[in-house]
Chain A
Amino acid sequence: AQSVSQHNHHVILSEAASLELGCNYSYGGTVNLFWYVQYPGQHLQLLLKYFSGDPLVKGIKGFEAEFIKSKFSFNLRKPSVQWSDTAEYFCAVRAGGFKTIFGAGTRLFVKA
């Protein structure tokens, strides 16, 4: 069965620190990859997506992610986090068909 693994469940950073959240998936074929963000008390919003082409994709609010096919990974990065980035981040994969599978999420807390 397809699965998505997020390496860290909780991350605490100080403002201006750099962020990298890991995501690996288990599927050998063509995938569409996503990162969603859920701010406290809100619904999920799309942060960025990868379908094909340049494996380095840029999203909203200064986030970017890199698709490394050989490692089945799609890690999320941001050079300098802000207090307002405090949220839960979900990696998701569509590996054929009509199912988008989500990871367990990473809760990020940014200290002001």
Chain B
Amino acid sequence: NAGVTQTPKFQVLKTGQSMTLQCAQDMNHEYMSWYRQDPGMGLRLIHYSVGAGITDQGEVPNGYNVSRSTTEDFPLRLLSAAPSQTSVYFCASGQGTTFTGELFFGEGSRLTVL
């Protein structure tokens, strides 16, 4: 009963490097999303997807790319990391066709950009 799985759990990057945060869910949820969590700012939505091939921007999309080729996977790409992207990233999934806003979260990925 894995739920939402994120990898890696910890990552340190240098400014300008690229990386991909992986997210997979086994609940057959059509909706998947990425949030970043920063102290005092709660969770802010980066990108979301309502199904394979469909993605859209959230509140803070700049500097991040996503794609959705399968129902299960929703990777988040940082093409050129910046110190402002130091954060904890959470992937979350939910029912798509009847999206209520209820989300199921992964355990998070802590990213530090030097």
Interface residue ranges, A against B (CB under 8 Å): 4, 6, 9, 32, 34, 36, 42-46, 49, 51, 90, 92-94, 98-105
Total A-B residue contacts, Cβ distance less than 8 Å? 60
**From residue B90, how far is it (CB to closest CB) to chain A in Å?**
7
Nearest residue in A to B38 (C-beta to C-beta)? A104
- Chain B residues whose CB sits within 8 angstroms of the CB of A4 once the complex forms: 42
Contact indicator A43/B58 (Cβ below 8 Å): no
Q: How many residues of B contact A (CB 8 A)?
A: 25
Contact indicator A43/B56 (Cβ below 8 Å): no
**From residue B95, how far is it (CB to closest CB) to chain A in Å?**
11
A100 touches which of B41, B103, B106 (Cβ 8 Å): B103
Q: How far is the CA of A98 from the CA of B34 in the complex (A)?
A: 12
Contact indicator B40/A98 (Cβ below 8 Å): no
Contact indicator B48/A99 (Cβ below 8 Å): yes
Contact indicator B40/A43 (Cβ below 8 Å): no
**From residue B103, how far is it (CB to closest CB) to chain A in Å?**
6
Contact indicator B42/A32 (Cβ below 8 Å): no
Given contacts A34-B101, A92-B101, A105-B42, contact A98 B50 (CB under 8 A): yes
- Chain B residues whose CB sits within 8 angstroms of the CB of A103 once the complex forms: 42
